[in-house]
Amino acid sequence: MCLVAFNWHNHSDFKFILSANRDEFFNRPSERLGLWPSGFYGGKDLKSGGTWLGIHPNGRFSFITNYRDLRQKINPKISRGQLVRDFLESKVDPLDYLKKVKNDKAQYEGFNLIVSDGEKLCYYSNHGKEVIELLPGMYGLSNGLLDVPWPKVKLAKKQMKTLLLQKTIRPDHLLGILGSKEQYPQDELPDTGLPKNEESVLSAQFILLGDNYGTVNSSALLIGHDGKVVFKERTFDHLKGNSEDKQIEFQQKQQTNPEL
């Protein structure tokens, strides 16, 4: 994924709230949100076999964004999407999992990885320094490090903060907040090695770059303190100008108590 706003243990009804956009080349094959043979729910990258966002009924969930720095040339041995899949299919403690990932960080292109067992929410980037257990609160993530204040990240957090003030939060509310197509001035943008015109296009929340790359789906994830999960995905077909929704609901087998 390329833009995520999420809220952890900081709401009266929900333990975890997420809104996310995934940007990708249109010709990269993938499957929509569904049940994997190993028991978790998520989309599937058919090229490399991983996923960008997934959740297991046992309480584990994980998601990943790319870290963009085109000046560093890396020949990765393993697809980043396998980091999410491997965590969801394991029973390893989140901190221990990320410490192992840190030891193997050179095998992957740049990434930001979030993992949780439902009790702890942890973060690591192979362009950062340490594995971090996140405190309750709201966070924003794109293709830099966690909470780096890129314009679209700051806007995403503002949008999420406004949404959290509503009495009721539904998946469609979350799918609607990361839709800005505004592009920002060069002096407000990072230097990730892209040509300036492309950096400007990618500064928007909702992206269309030429006729082969852009925002291909948006995701909404709600995990209640009672263990109820609502996971909704909206897939965009830019060439046809339409979208399709898919929603999955289930009750987690393991529940945790709210920490408010």
122-140 per-position pLDDT tens digit: 999 999 999 999 999 999 9
What tens digit of pLDDT does each residue of 73-86 get? 777 889 999 999 99
132 neighbors 95 (Cβ within 8 angstroms): no
Domain assignment present for residue 220? The answer is yes
Domain assignment present for residue 259? The answer is no
CA nearest to 204, candidates 223, 185, 187, 218: 185
Contacts of 171 (CB under 8 A, 6+ apart): 220, 222, 230, 231, 232, 247
- The encoded tokens of residue 248 equal 């999955």
Domain assignment present for residue 37? The answer is yes
Domain assignment present for residue 258? The answer is no
Task: Report d(CA 27, CA 69) in Å as an integer.
Answer: 22
Contacts of 13 (CB under 8 A, 6+ apart): 169, 224, 225
23 neighbors 214 (Cβ within 8 angstroms): yes
Task: Report d(CA 82, CA 240) in Å as an integer.
Answer: 30
Domain assignment present for residue 176? The answer is yes
Domain count, the chain: 1
Contacts of 148 (CB under 8 A, 6+ apart): 142, 190
Task: Report pLDDT for 254.
Answer: 58
Query: Could you give the angle at the alpha carbon of 112 between the alpha carbons of 107 and 117, nearest 5°?
Result: 100
Its pTM surpasses 0.85: yes
Tell me, what amino acid is at 62?
S
CATH code of residue 34? 3.60.60.10
Task: Report pLDDT for 145.
Answer: 98
Q: Is 84 helix (H, G, I), strand (E, B) or coil?
A: helix
Where in the sequence is the domain holding 95, given as residue range(s)? 3-251
Domain assignment present for residue 102? The answer is yes
Domain assignment present for residue 8? The answer is yes
Which residue shows structure tokens 């909470």? 147
Low pLDDT (below 50) residues in the chain: 255-260
Domain assignment present for residue 237? The answer is yes
Task: Report pLDDT for 73.
Answer: 76
- Structural Rg of the chain based on CA atoms: 17
35 neighbors 243 (Cβ within 8 angstroms): no
